[in-house]
Copies of this chain bind each other. A is one copy, B any other.
Amino acid sequence: MTDKKEHIVNSAVELFAEKGFEGTSIRELAAKAEVNVAMVNYYFGSKEKLFEAMVAQKAAYSRGMIDEIVKDKTLSDIEKIDRIIDGFVNRLFTNRKFHRIIHQELMLSQRENLQQAIVDILYPNSLAVKTLIDSAIKKGSFKKVDSALVIATVIGTINHVLLSKKMCNKLFGKEDSHVPYEDPKFIKRVGDHLKEIMHAYLLKN
C-alpha cells in the first residue's frame, strides 16, 4: 500500500473514532491527511469504501492471537484464560481508536453489510473462548458456567473502561487531563481485575 493511501487510512481512523462516520467530512479527512479532497475518491472510490478498506486493513490485528493461545499445550486452562485476557486488554487498549469505530458501527443499523463483515471478523474469537471454557468444564477443571457470556464480560469490561476518558478519570480519582489509556499501571489494573474475577468464577475452590 502506498504511503498516501496508508496516511489517509490512518487519518480516517482518528476522525471516524472522534466524530463517527457521518460526522466526518471528506474535506476534513483530506485536510488531516494533507491530500487533495479528490484523492480519497481516487484511491478508495467513495467515503464508504474508504471506511470498509480501513476496517479490512485494521481488523487484521485481531486475528490469530486467541487460536495460538488455545493451541498451546504447555499452558493449563486457567493460564490460557489469563493469556487471553492480557491479549484482549493489550489489543483493545492499543487499538482503542479503531475499536471505538467498530463499536459504533455495531450499534448502528446503517451499512448492514459492513456490520456483517465485522461480526464475521469478531465472532471466531468469541467462539474460540467459548469452546475453550466448554472443554475445560467437561474435563472438570472449570465450574459449570455460562461459557457464552464469559467473553461478553471480558470484552465488555474493557470496552466500558475505554468508553469515556472523562468517566474513567472521575471514577478512578484522576484529574481531567490524565490519559488513563496510556498509563501502564492502569492497563495492568484492568487486566488483574479481570483475571481475579475469572479465577474466582471459573476455578473450583
Q: Which of B21, B106, B127, B160 has a CB less than 8 Å from the CB of A156?
A: B160
Question: Which listed segment binds B: A5-13, A54-62, A63-71, A188-196?
Answer: A188-196
Alpha-carbon gap, A166 to B108, bound state (A) = 12
Q: List 5 A-B contacts (CB under 8 A).
A: A19-B110, A20-B23, A122-B167, A156-B156, A197-B197
Known: A110-B19, A197-B197, A201-B201. A103 touches B149 (CB 8 A): no
Does A133 belong to the interface (CB within 8 Å)?
no
Report which A residues bind B (CB closer than 8 A): 17-23, 100, 103-104, 106-110, 115-116, 119, 122-123, 126-127, 130, 145-146, 148-149, 151-153, 155-161, 163-164, 166-167, 170-172, 189-190, 192-194, 196-197, 200-201, 205
Question: What residues of B have a CB within 8 angstroms of the CB of A192 in the complex?
Answer: 146
Question: What residues of B have a CB within 8 angstroms of the CB of A155 in the complex?
Answer: 156, 160
Identify 9 new A-B residue pairs, CB closer than 8 A, beyond the known A153-B197, A156-B157: A18-B110, A20-B22, A106-B164, A106-B166, A106-B167, A146-B192, A149-B161, A156-B161, A159-B160
A125 to chain B, nearest CB (A): 11
Known: A109-B18, A197-B153. A148 touches B172 (CB 8 A): yes
Q: Are A171 and B148 in contact (CB under 8 A)?
A: yes
Alpha-carbon gap, A23 to B205, bound state (A) = 50
Q: Are A189 and B22 in contact (CB under 8 A)?
A: no
Q: Which of B153, B170, B200 has a CB less than 8 Å from the CB of A123?
A: B170
Question: What residues of B have a CB within 8 angstroms of the CB of A107 in the complex?
Answer: 17, 100, 103-104, 163-164
Question: What residues of B have a CB within 8 angstroms of the CB of A130 in the complex?
Answer: 171
Question: What residues of B have a CB within 8 angstroms of the CB of A189 in the complex?
Answer: 146, 149
